[in-house]
């Protein structure tokens, strides 16, 4: 999921440089949503590992 967020960031940057403002805005919004979902899932994963007592190896 983080990979997809990075792809959309790059797409937004390229679209912005080429002058496609609407496409750049949409791609940036999608990247932001994907990044926030990734961060939420990462935090949930860490909390679940801490509750179960798994080691970090």
Cβ atoms within 10 Å, residue 42: 12
pTM: 0.79
- The C-alpha torsion from 18 through 20 and 21 to 25, rounded to 10°, is -100
Both ends of the chain: CA-CA distance in Å? 22
The predicted structure's pLDDT at residue 1:
78
The predicted structure's pLDDT at residue 53:
85
For the chain, helix, strand, coil in percent to 5 are: 85, 0, 15
What residue spans define the domains of the chain?
2-52
Mean pLDDT per segment of 10 residues, for the chain of length 57 residues? 90 94 94 95 93 76
């Amino acid at each position: 999921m983080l990979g997809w967020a990075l792809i959309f960031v790059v797409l937004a940057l390229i679209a912005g440089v080429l002058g496609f403002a609407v496409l750049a805005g949409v791609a940036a919004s999608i990247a932001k949503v994907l990044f926030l979902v990734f961060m939420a899932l990462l935090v949930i994963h860490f909390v679940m590992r801490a509750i179960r007592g798994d080691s970090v190896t």
